[in-house]
Amino acid sequence: MKTEPIKRLEFLRESLRDIKTVGTLTPSSRHLCESMIRHIDFENGITIVELGAGDGVITHQLLSKMPADSRLIVFEVNEKFCRVLRQIHDPRFILIDDTAEKLEDYLNQLHIDHIDYVISALPFTSLPKTLGINIVKQCYQHLKKGGLFVQMHYSLFTKRLYKKIFGNVDVCFVPLNLPPAFVLVSEKI
């Protein structure tokens, strides 16, 4: 049974209650979701880490395309969103209701050596700078060579961070989202 992301008004209420961790007032549009996942090769079994899954709008897109021998490890700290995500019953799906700062610890517990993709909606601009740097460095460390870090933002303030850690960053503007967004993609070379 497929669960649906929470309604827009509920999402807005939760965002206003916890804007620092939610990072936006509206769920990601279909266009933003498609821009976030279009770089993924779904042909073979893959391991994806999703940071800041919110109500699962991108999570559902990923699960609908992932092969049976894939894994999706999802980090979310907002309890209301975690309740929604817990309704997903899929053997490929692992929910971590904890901070992405502990990515390395959880990957070790799950015996995961490398990941193929990181899909992130974390609001890095509202996180302490050192915390954001730590999370991105952990992502870089655990991505396989050629793996992608895909991050959505509403500004380009943190573009330098990804350029510094990965050595590269491509930017795609997504106007059909409220507010319009950027998708930043960095490859581990």
**Mean pLDDT value of segment 51-72:** 96
Residue 72 belongs to some domain of the structure: yes
The mean pLDDT value of the chain amounts to: 89
Residue 40 belongs to some domain of the structure: yes
Return the pLDDT at 74. 99
Return the pLDDT at 23. 42
Residue 154 belongs to some domain of the structure: yes
Return the pLDDT at 15. 46
> Which whole-number Å values give the CA distances from 7 to 81, 116, 119, in the listed order?
12, 31, 22
Amino acid at 134: N
pTM: 0.87
For the chain, the residue count is: 189
C-beta atoms surrounding 8 within 10 Å? 13
Amino acid at 113: D
Nearest to 61 by CA among 79, 76, 39, 83: 39
Residue 67 belongs to some domain of the structure: yes
**Mean pLDDT value of segment 48-66:** 96
Return the pLDDT at 175. 96
pLDDT at 9 over 60: no
In the chain, how many domains are there? 1
The Cα–Cα gap between 119 and 16 comes to 24
pLDDT at 5 over 70: no
Return the pLDDT at 3. 46
Return the pLDDT at 28. 64
pLDDT digits (tens, 9 = 90+) for 117-135: 999 999 998 899 999 999 9
Q: How does residue 71 score in pLDDT terms, banded at 50, 70 and 90?
A: very high
Q: How does residue 25 score in pLDDT terms, banded at 50, 70 and 90?
A: very low
Element holding 128 (H helix, E strand): none
Structural domain of 119: 8-187
pLDDT at 84 over 50: yes
**Mean pLDDT value of segment 178-185:** 94
Question: In CATH, what number is assigned to the domain containing residue 80?
Answer: 3.40.50.150
Locate tokens 């049976």: which residue? 68
Residue 110 belongs to some domain of the structure: yes
Residue 1 belongs to some domain of the structure: no
